[in-house]
């Protein structure tokens, strides 16, 4: 039983009331003289006959949480093991996503918004070398602006010893959301978290779990060959692009899902640019002969294990090419395309977003039509497509975006931030009075961007 009482001090933290009691751990509100913020202390529930793997998971979290950073995880305030293992962390004000399950199916807009926020949080986690491996509504805390990931007891950290790796008697995770490779004992592939997002979005869309909630290993393995009904079969108003995203991330082979959480988030934020494969059009499950073949035919066994290089998140960056369509010369244009082509050749998972900022004027109410009466937004989009055609990239690796803003730099920076862009490529403007007086757009972007910035400049002469 739980030996700790209210009022007890552990590691300098004074325990208050129990705010949550889960299957493996109990959470106390707490205070500390040096920390002026709401605090939780997490303690494992240890009792005779308990699964000792629970303490292994708790120790895993003790190693991982202090090494995580950023707005998508609770801040760790300390860990220790006396008189029993404990973790002190920031208490997040918010609610988990569990209540969403009480009002299924959700409106499409809400599904997409929720999915994009989860992808953003996962992106932040994966960039820190951590795969969560237990993405489910109860571990996702929603605040006003974002999703915060909770509970790293099953997680894998690329640089730390994996205490859970030896616990292979059972695949630990949550049955409705667990990826096929995780069921087969593969830990450490970020795509496993994307499968969980796919399963959760499927449930939000259709009102049911794609693979039910199986309770034993045999039933859990069924997802290696058994495909769920396509969402559109259960919910006719599910848009094809959303079905495309959901089914892509429910692919059995990790390599067939989105290459990164950032790319999943990108597609959810730009539905009109999602490329439709056969997945988008499906209205029925596969024929039973296909399922039987997948289950028994030795040539149809999925590739569940990827090497570390294939899993590396850095191999699939989002690259934004910011084009100033009014100023770019044919020579600079060619030089920029050359730069993009080189990067795309090295990184097969990378994708390019061609971006142009349509400047709006604060003083002059903006007119959507130019002097000749054409739609300016559409015209810019056509020009972007014309520019990128020479890149000869397949449709799924290329998107086009016309943004509106009062400044080109601010527009590009905001776009890069929201879409988790990894690398901005832009051209240096020709030397001009404007650049000398106002400073260059490139300099402002290079200074303020949260990612790498390449400025393509032509050698004079």
Partner 1 sequence: MRIALLADLHANLEALDACLVHAAAQGAERLVFLGDLVGYGADPVAVVARVRDLMGQGAIVLRGNHDEAALRGPIGFSGLAAEAMRWTQARLDPETKAFLAELPFTHEEEDRLYTHADGANPPAWNYVTQAADARRSLAGTTARLTFCGHTHVPALFGLTATDKLLHHTPLPDLMLPLLQPRRWLAVIGAVGQPRDGNPAACYGLLDTDKAECGWLRVPYDIEAAARKIRAAELPEALAARLFLGM
Tell me if 168 sits within 8 A of 186, measured CB to CB.
Answer: no
CB of 163 to partner 1, least distance (A): 5
Convert 35-53 to b/e letters by CB count within 10 Å (16 or more is b).
beeebbbbbbbbeeeeeeb
**Rg of the chain, C-alpha, whole Å:** 25
222: alpha, beta or left, given left = phi > 0 and alpha = psi -120 to 50?
A: alpha
Question: How far apart are CB 53 and partner 1 at their closest, in Å?
Answer: 6
Q: How far apart are CA 450 and CA 453, in angstroms?
A: 9
For 241-251, give one letter per residue: b (16+ CB within 10 A) or e.
bbbbbbbbbbb
Pairing type for strands 318-322 and 351-359 reads parallel
Helix (H, G, I), strand (E, B) or coil at 455: strand
Q: What is the smallest separation between the CB atom of 55 and partner 1, expressed in angstroms?
A: 4
Q: Which helix (H) or strand (E) holds 402?
A: strand 398-405
Nearer to partner 1, 23 or 218 (CB): 23
Neighbours of 260 (CB within 10 A): 29
Rank residues 48 and 166 by Cβ distance to partner 1 and give the closer one: 166
User: Least Å distance between CB 160 and partner 1?
Assistant: 6
Structural contact between residues 195 and 257, judged by C-beta atoms closer than 8 angstroms: yes
Contact 355, 321 (CB under 8 A): yes
CB nearer to partner 1: give 41 or 384. 41
Taking the complex as a whole, how short is the minimal distance between the CB of residue 394 and partner 1, in angstroms?
Answer: 35
Report yes or no: 257 and 251 within 8 Å, Cβ to Cβ. yes
Report in angstroms how near the CB of residue 59 gets to partner 1 at its nearest.
6
Concatenated DSSP letters for 151-214? --TT-EETTS--GGGG-TTS--S-TTT--HHHHTT----THHHHHHHHHHHHHHHHSS-TT---
CB of 11 to partner 1, least distance (A): 12
Interacting residue ranges for partner 1, rule: CB under 8 A? 52-53, 55-56, 59, 62-63, 80-81, 159-163, 165-167
The residue among 77 and 318 lying less far from partner 1, judged by its C-beta, is 77
Contact 294, 285 (CB under 8 A): no
- Select 65 or 247, whichever has its Cβ closest to partner 1: 65
Q: From the CB of 40, what's the least distance to partner 1, in Å?
A: 20
Nearer to partner 1, 25 or 264 (CB): 25
Nearer to partner 1, 134 or 167 (CB): 167
Q: Could you tell me the smallest distance in angstroms from the CB atom of residue 159 to partner 1? A: 6
Pick 161 or 373: Cβ nearer partner 1? 161
Per-residue burial over 273-283, b = 16 or more CB atoms within 10 Å of its CB, e = otherwise: bbeeeebbebe
- Is residue 403 within 8 A of residue 411, CB to CB? The reply is yes
- Pairwise CA distance, residues 69 & 125, whole Å: 9
58 or 177: CB nearest partner 1: 58
Using the minimum distance from each CB to partner 1, give the nearer residue, 62 or 206. Answer: 62
Q: How many CB atoms lie within 10 A of CB 15?
A: 20
What's the min distance (Å) between Cβ of 34 and partner 1?
Answer: 17
């Amino acid at each position: 039983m739980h030996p700790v009482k209210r009022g007890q001090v552990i590691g300098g933290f004074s325990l208050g009331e129990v705010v949550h009691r889960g299957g493996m751990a109990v959470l106390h509100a707490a205070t500390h003289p040096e920390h002026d913020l709401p605090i939780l202390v997490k303690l494992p529930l240890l009792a005779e006959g308990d699964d000792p793997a629970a303490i292994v998971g708790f120790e895993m979290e003790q190693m991982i949480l202090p090494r995580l950073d950023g707005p998508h995880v609770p801040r760790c305030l300390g860990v220790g093991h006396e008189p029993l293992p404990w973790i002190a962390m920031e208490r997040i004000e918010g609610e988990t996503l569990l209540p969403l399950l009480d009002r299924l199916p959700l409106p499409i807009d809400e599904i997409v918004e929720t999915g994009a926020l989860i992808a953003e949080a996962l992106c932040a986690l994966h960039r820190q070398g951590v795969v969560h491996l237990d993405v489910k509504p109860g571990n996702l805390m929603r605040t006003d602006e974002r999703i915060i990931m909770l509970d790293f007891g099953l997680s894998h950290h690329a640089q730390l010893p994996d205490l859970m790796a030896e616990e292979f008697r059972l695949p630990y995770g949550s049955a409705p959301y667990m990826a096929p490779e995780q069921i087969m004992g593969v830990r450490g592939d970020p795509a496993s978290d994307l499968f969980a997002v796919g399963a959760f979005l499927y449930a939000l869309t259709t009102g049911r779990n794609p693979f039910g909630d199986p309770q034993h290993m045999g039933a859990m393995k069924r997802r290696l060959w058994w495909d769920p009904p396509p969402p559109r079969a259960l919910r006719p108003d599910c848009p094809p692009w959303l079905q495309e995203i959901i089914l892509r991330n429910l692919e059995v082979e990790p390599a067939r899902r989105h290459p990164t959480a950032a790319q999943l988030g990108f597609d959810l934020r730009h539905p009109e640019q999602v490329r439709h494969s056969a997945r988008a059009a499906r209205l029925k499950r596969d024929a039973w002969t296909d399922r039987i073949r997948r289950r028994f035919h030795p040539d149809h066994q999925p590739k569940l294990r990827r090497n570390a290089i294939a899993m590396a998140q850095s191999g699939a960056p989002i690259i934004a090419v910011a084009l100033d369509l009014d100023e770019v010369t044919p020579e600079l244009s060619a030089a920029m395309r050359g730069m993009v082509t080189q990067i795309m050749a090295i990184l097969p998972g990378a994708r390019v977003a061609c971006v142009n900022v349509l400047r709006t004027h604060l003083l002059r109410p903006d007119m959507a039509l130019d002097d000749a009466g054409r739609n300016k937004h559409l015209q810019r989009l056509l020009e972007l497509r014309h520019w990128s055609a020479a890149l000869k990239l397949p449709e799924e690796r290329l998107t086009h975006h016309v943004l509106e803003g009062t400044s080109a730099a601010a527009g590009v920076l905001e776009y890069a931030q929201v879409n988790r862009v990894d690398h901005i490529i832009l051209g240096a403007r020709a030397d001009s009075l404007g650049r000398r007086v106002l400073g260059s757009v490139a300099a402002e972007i290079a200074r303020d961007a949260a990612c790498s910035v390449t400025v393509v400049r032509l050698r004079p002469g």
